[in-house]
Amino acid sequence: MIPVLSNVLTGKTNEHVIIDSRIGVPLHTRAVFPFLSLQKEAQKSGFDLRVASAFRAYDRQLVIWNEKAQGKRDILNYSGGSTLDYNQLNREEVLWAMLRWSSVPGASRHHWGTEVDIYDYNALNSPSSEALKLIPAEVEGEGSMAALHRWLDKLIDAKKAFGFFRPYEMDRGGVALEKWHLSYTPQSFLYDESYTYDFFVEQIEQSDIELKDVILQHSEKIFQTYMKNICPYPN
Ligand SMILES: [Zn+2]
């Protein structure tokens, strides 16, 4: 694989992203205008669509992963409703629990710059960063972000979401349901196609990552269940 592409796929470069002042976080150069269009569309319906997180660099993901693996950060349970007792888990259990909510460094779609975790600023209970939780309860039923997502459902169904779709719209037994996670398909589809199993294994072997031996032992299952097991791309 050409080095430029492998660095983009693993978040080891930021040359594919830019920070537009209207968005405020680094996003793929090709996703900026489509996102601004989505933002304008949202505004017409009274939503102040903002991005909580978009591009994430490899180094950042590595720190998060390693701290969780060492028990220095909370690990959520399967439903996301509570945290697990790290001391009760063996290394394999730690790995599977982490994979539900975190990507292996170098294998996160957020490295690509094409992914955004979104929210409605108007619906925050208070303007502090703690007000946003990005948990399932927030986006369903009476949740504060439910109205935004009902609006988005319709837009995506009508194929009018400017190329964005939800790869984690449903719980497929791998990564948890994350309705707030949108992907700019015209670009992410290409990255996804380029990301092969051999490449996954190769980059884990080269990395300085906690639980490396257990990851390599289960590399095929991790690749199929947590990386490739997303909702089908819209056609
Ligand atoms: Zn996300």
User: Where in the chain are the domains?
Assistant: 3-227
Q: How far is the CA of 227 from the centre of ligand 1 (A)?
A: 13
CA 179 – ligand 1 centroid, Å: 9
Residue range 3-227 in CATH 3.40.50.20: no
* pLDDT tens for each residue of 117-141: 999 999 997 766 668 888 888 999 9
- The pLDDT value recorded for residue 93 is 95
| Ligand 1 center from residue 90 Cα (angstroms) | 27
Give residue-wise pLDDT tens across range 2-59: 778 999 999 999 999 999 999 999 999 999 999 999 999 999 999 999 999 999 999 9
CA 108 – ligand 1 centroid, Å: 9
CB 134 within 8 A of CB 119: yes
Question: What's the pLDDT tens digit per position in 157-190?
Answer: 999 999 999 999 888 888 888 999 999 999 999 9
* Per-residue pLDDT, 127: 67
Q: What is the pLDDT of residue 134?
A: 86
How far does the centroid of ligand 1 lie from the alpha carbon of residue 110, in Å? 6
Cα angle: 188, vertex 193, 195; to 5 degrees: 95
Taking the CB of residue 201, how many other CB atoms lie within 10 A of it? 16
Q: In angstroms, what is the span from residue 28 Cα to ligand 1's centroid?
A: 14
Coil, helix or strand at residue 118: strand
CA distance 176 to 78: 8
pLDDT value of position 1: 75
pTM of this structure:
0.93
pLDDT tens by residue, 64-114? 999 999 999 999 888 877 899 999 999 999 999 999 989 999 999 999 999
59 CA to middle of ligand 1, Å? 17
Quote the CA–CA distance of 134 and 41 in Å, as a whole number: 22
What distance in angstroms lies between residue 140's CA and the mean position of ligand 1's atoms?
A: 17
E runs forming strands in the chain: 17-19, 26-28, 49-53, 115-120, 164-165, 181-184
